[in-house]
Structure formats: C-alpha cells, structure tokens
Chain A
Amino acid sequence: MTKNMLIAGFGGQGILFSGKFLAYEGLLEDKSVSWLPSYGPEMRGGTANCSVIISDTPVGSPIVSNPDILMVMNMPSLDKYEDATVVGGQIFIDSALIDRKVNREDVEAYYIPATKLASDEGLSGLANMIMIGYVIRKTNIIPFENIERALQKVVPASKQHLLDANKKALELGFNYAE
C-alpha cells in the first residue's frame, strides 16, 4: 500500500517538520519513504508545503501532485490543493485558521481547531503536531504507539526539552473528540 500525503500552510507553522516526523516513523517501520519540501522564497514567510510518501514498495516519483491525504493549515493551501486530492481522499483542516468547509462531496473532510487548541493548552507553535495526531488516528498512516522513537529522531539534540510538548500535542490531536 502507498500513502501519498501533502502538507501545506504558511512558513513557520512547522509544515516541513511535521512531514519529516511522519517520514521518520515510516522509516522506523521499515517502509519505503520520501519527503520533499517546497524550497525557495516561499520559505521566508509565504506558503510552504511538503510531499510525504510512505509505501510498502519502493517509492517512484517523490512528488505528490494528487494526495490521498491532504493536511492544510491556511486558506490558500485549501484553495490550491482541494481539487487535486484523489476521489475518496481525506482532507484535514485547521478550522481555527480556515473558515470554510470543503466544497467536494467525494472526499472525507475532517475539521480540527488545532491552532486554538494549541494556544488553549499552552502548546503554542505545535498546532502542526496536533493536526498530525488527528491525521494518524483517522488514516493509520503510521502506528500511534511508536511516536516517541520518531520524535527522538527528528527533535534536534539542542531542543530535547520540547519532546514532551510535542508528544502532548500529538496525543491531544489523536484523542480529539469532534
């Protein structure tokens, strides 16, 4: 099975980091994985996105143009990628930042006010990981029980004090009750 995922939002929301976390856990599960970021001027404040592929077979093209799973954290990204999502795909929306619903009826849409939850819980800056926790529950893209080992790989040595906060954010998203 192959899961093609696209994560998109503003630069600074941790879009690339959250994708790297998923890819690393995929690697630790012995899956074939790839992670490809947008790069260039958009990194400095504009939109950012990354393609993540987790597969049982070798990954061909690392570019995800038609995602099975779309996670968006700003309106321009939803506008841009909603139509590109495959039929039957899953779209995850930070409803604290995007005040419209998905227009399509042939996809599954999930709404979570991740940015609001993050600030309410003292986890500001970790809305990305709240989203990812929710994505894991609804997609099973990676097993939730192993999140800690991947976190240890992607949180840099100088920021190990943020491990617990990241874990808490993932759990908050995973256990989010609509």
Chain B
Amino acid sequence: MSEKVLMKGNEALAEAAIMAGCRHYLGYPITPQTEIAAYMAKRMPKVGGTFLQAESEIAAINMVIGVSSAGKRAMTSSSSPGISLKGEGLSYLAGCDLPAFVVNVQRGGPGLGGIQPSQSDYFQAVKGTSHGDYRMLVLAPASVQEMVTMTFKGFDLADKYRMTVMLLADGTMGQMMEPVSLDMGEVTEYDKSWAVTGTNCERSHNIVNSLFLKPEELEKKNFERYEKYRVIEENEVMYEEYMMDDAEYCIVAFGIAARISKNAIDMARAKGIKVGMLRPITLWPFPKKEMRAIADRVKSFISVELSMGQMIEDIRLATECTRPVYLCNRTGGMIMTPEEVLAKIEEASKGGNN
C-alpha cells in the first residue's frame, strides 16, 4: 500500500495501531480525539478485534491492564482531563512492567479547560502522570505521517521494554488531514512468556502485580526499572534538526509548535538571521546530549510551546544553563502565529533580556 491517502491524524493513528497488531481498543469519548474511537468502532469488528467503550476513562485504562497482562497489544486514548483520570492505571502499568500504548490528544487546561489544541500536559507526560518512581516513553509527532510511524513504533517500544508508551499529540495533529503512507513493514513479535495466559497445569503461575510490601524487594524492582530506563536514554532518543548547520540561535519545539516554528525560521532566514531548530520527537528520553552539544555553538535557545513554559525547564537542565533560553508561548487553546515566533527570534538575535 504505497499510494498516499489523505487522512485525519486521529484516524491515521488508529489505522496504524491496527497495522501494529493491536486488536483491543478500550476508550471513552472526549474532544478532540473522538475520531479515534469512532474509527476503531468501525474497523475493529472487521479485523476480529475488540472495540469497547468503557463506562469511564478509569475503567478503560484498567481494561488495558487486563488485556496487556494476557500478553496482547492494547491501547486507549483520551484528551487531557481524561488522561488525568487514567493516571492511577498508568502507575499500575509501570509497577507491573506491562506494555501499553496510550494516546493523549491534548486540549487546553487546567480543569475541564477548553477543547482547542494545547501542549500543557508536557509535565504530566514526562515528569509524573501519577505516583511512584517511573517513566513513560513519550513520542511527539509533528505530522499525520508521524502520527502513523510513531504509533507503529510505539507499540514496538512498549513490548520491547515492557512499559507504557504515550503518544503526545494535540488537537491540531488529531484534526488535520495530510497525505500519509500506511506502508509500515512487519510487526516484531516479542517473548511474552511472563503473560497470564493459563498454565494448563504444565508450569508454575505467572503473576502480574505491583504490590511489594517488603521495601527491599520494592527498591530492587525500582533499581531494575531505572536500569532499563538508562538503556532507553542511551538508545531510543529521536529528534530532527532543521537548518542547524550554521545556526546561531536554536529553537526547541515539538508537535504543532515545531510546524509553526519552521515557517518562522524560513522568514528569519530570509532576513539573514541564522536560526535553526532542534525538534525532539521523544520528549522522554529528551535529547539532552544533543542539546548540550548545540549549546556550545549557539548564542541562545528559544522554547516555543503551547503552555506557560514547561519544556523550557528541560532545555535549561540539558544545557546546564550555559545559554539564555527565551520563551515564545501561547496557552489555553490559543496558537502562536509564525510572526510571533519571528518576533521572538529577532528579540533573541538582538540579545534582549530573556
């Protein structure tokens, strides 16, 4: 299937999940990601899969725990307030070392917020969706094509590392249509001898559990998990550079903010300002090493985000505060224009106070 088709981001990622072998979608509707559920409701019965609209987001994530415990690929999707409800389940998934694929098509917050696009769940996704020592692998697509490739890859990473992979999109990515190729290649099968599939009285029981009352045991589990996270930080960082070869200023942006920044960079370049962009595709693991190296050759950074400034903290950490970091942001469902980003680039190029 090499022919490109025009698809909405939400629908394209749903199809990619099916191509990745997911046959269990458990969800609950919320704007702006309801097309995922609608698409799954239509498609899953045709491929012998299960579409289930749960009674709540909390029920849906707990059904994901169930399916995943049985060794099958499972996913759920929601938007910001719904992801908060799933928080408990995400912590249990981590504590049980279970693979899962979770989509957050972000909208404005806090609270019930609004329904327009936002990136203000960055902290939630990369720092702490819920209680306990754990991480999720966080993928941030910036096109409908990446919604597809990152979903396919996300299921693979989830099985490979036995952990939750979150696709962190936003309302624009979910709602927009772009040409997309659904040519994905083969699905890799992973050993799931740990799964709870019935013993047939031929082996000892597998137990999927996150309760460890002996602190020595729990600490050991956490140490092991963080060793796994260290390997991921070493091997799974993804990013894209745009016009960074001779750049004196570096924009850091992901998702829709990166798309807007590209326009602004082209406008700035036309004015002779040497600006480029580092676009993290994995938000965790964050491209720390790459950013630290760039800090040695640029004058300043500009964080472009649809939030009050969340990723900017990770940029400061990664660059060890060796360079000023400017913030260009809108929030609450408002989206910056390329002209607003350009104005911030010009401010940075004049060395104004950040």
B177 CB contacts on chain A under 8 angstroms: 20, 23, 34-36
Which single residue of chain A is at the shortest CB-CB distance from B107? Answer: A40
In chain B, positions 168-211 with a C-beta closer than 8 Å to chain A are 171-172, 175-179
Q: What total count of A-B pairs have CB within 8 Å?
A: 59
A contacts with B, residue count (CB < 8 A): 19
The reply on B31 being an interface residue by CB < 8 A is: yes
A27 touches B263 (CB 8 A): no
A37 CB contacts on chain B under 8 angstroms: 175-176
The interface bits of chain A over 21-44 (1 if a CB of B lies within 8 angstroms of the residue's CB, else 0) are: 001100100001111110110000
B6 touches A39 (CB 8 A): no
The reply on A153 being an interface residue by CB < 8 A is: yes
In chain B, positions 14-64 with a C-beta closer than 8 Å to chain A are 31-32
Give CA–CA (A59, B262) in the complex, Å.
9
Smallest distance from the beta carbon of A1 to chain B beta carbons, Å? Answer: 14
A24 CB contacts on chain B under 8 angstroms: 6
Among A60-68, A106-114, A119-127, A128-136, which stretch is in contact with chain B? A60-68
B263 CB contacts on chain A under 8 angstroms: 60-61
A20 CB contacts on chain B under 8 angstroms: 6, 177
B102 CB contacts on chain A under 8 angstroms: none
Smallest distance from the beta carbon of A89 to chain B beta carbons, Å? Answer: 17
A39 touches B262 (CB 8 A): no
Which single residue of chain B is at the shortest CB-CB distance from A154? Answer: B6
State whether A60 and B260 are in contact (beta carbons under 8 Å apart), knowing that A33-B178, A36-B176, A39-B31 are contacts in the complex. yes
Residue from the set B116, B259, B263 with the largest chain A CB neighbour count within 10 Å:
B259
Which single residue of chain A is at the shortest CB-CB distance from B114? Answer: A40
Residue from the set B171, B178, B260 with the largest chain A CB neighbour count within 10 Å:
B178
A62 touches B6 (CB 8 A): no
Which single residue of chain A is at the shortest CB-CB distance from B144? Answer: A34
B6 touches A65 (CB 8 A): no
The interface bits of chain A over 58-84 (1 if a CB of B lies within 8 angstroms of the residue's CB, else 0) are: 011111010000000000000000000
Smallest distance from the beta carbon of A50 to chain B beta carbons, Å? Answer: 9
B259 touches A60 (CB 8 A): yes
Smallest distance from the beta carbon of A68 to chain B beta carbons, Å? Answer: 14
B178 touches A60 (CB 8 A): no
Give CA–CA (A112, B6) in the complex, Å.
29
A40 touches B115 (CB 8 A): yes
Residue from the set A27, A40, A60, A61 with the largest chain B CB neighbour count within 10 Å:
A61
B116 CB contacts on chain A under 8 angstroms: 40
State whether A23 and B335 are in contact (beta carbons under 8 Å apart), knowing that A33-B178, A63-B172 are contacts in the complex. no
B176 touches A60 (CB 8 A): no
Give CA–CA (A23, B177) in the complex, Å.
9
In the complex, which of the residues B32, B262, B335 contacts A60, with contact meaning CB atoms closer than 8 Å?
B262
In chain B, positions 115-166 with a C-beta closer than 8 Å to chain A are 115-116
A36 touches B172 (CB 8 A): yes
Which single residue of chain B is at the shortest CB-CB distance from A25? Answer: B6
- Which 4 residue pairs across A and B have the least CB separation, nearest first? A60-B262, A60-B263, A35-B177, A61-B260
Residue positions of A touching B, CB distance < 8 A: 20, 23-24, 27, 32-37, 39-40, 59-63, 65, 153
28 contacts between A and B (CB under 8 A): A20-B177, A23-B177, A24-B6, A27-B4, A32-B179, A33-B179, A35-B176, A35-B178, A36-B172, A36-B175, A37-B175, A37-B176, A39-B115, A40-B32, A40-B115, A59-B178, A60-B259, A60-B262, A60-B266, A60-B338, A61-B262, A61-B338, A62-B172, A62-B178, A62-B259, A63-B172, A65-B337, A153-B6
User: With contacts A34-B178, A39-B32 known, what are 9 further pairs, Cβ within 8 A?
Assistant: A20-B6, A23-B177, A36-B172, A36-B175, A37-B175, A60-B266, A61-B260, A62-B259, A63-B172
